[in-house]
Amino acid sequence: RQRHFESEANWEDLLQPVFRQGKAVQELPFLNSIRERVQSQLNGFHNAVLRTVNPHEYPVGMERGLFDLRTRLVLEVRNQSRHAN
């Protein structure tokens, strides 16, 4: 299912390559830095989203290319399973 988000919606590209072809492309972060970033990101969520009982929905999306790749792979697996029977 596809959703369309408002063009003014805030978003952040989460893909930040650390390795390419087995070689580091940026300095590896220390675990403390990773922990601080995660905590900072979690603090940005409204409490209503984080609660475990009746949490509010938090919309997320997939880049078009990734969405298309996922769809293609699902269809390939379905076709393979049909031909295997």
Which residue type, as a one-letter code, is found at position 15? L
**4 within a domain of the structure (yes/no):** no
Residue 1 clears pLDDT 70, i.e. is over it? no
**9 within a domain of the structure (yes/no):** no
- CA gap 25, 18 in Å, rounded: 5
**27 within a domain of the structure (yes/no):** yes
Task: Residue 13: name the closest of 57, 50, 70, 65 by CA.
Answer: 65
Domain of 61, in residue numbers: 19-84
**2 within a domain of the structure (yes/no):** no
Number of domains in the chain: 1
**10 within a domain of the structure (yes/no):** no
- 19 with 25: CB under 8 angstroms? yes
pLDDT in tens, 30-82: 999 999 999 998 998 999 999 999 999 987 778 888 889 999 999 999 998 88
Strand, helix or coil for residue 19 = strand
- 9 with 60: CB under 8 angstroms? no
**43 within a domain of the structure (yes/no):** yes
**3 within a domain of the structure (yes/no):** no
**74 within a domain of the structure (yes/no):** yes
Instruction: State pTM to two decimals.
Output: 0.52
Quote the pLDDT of residue 11: 74
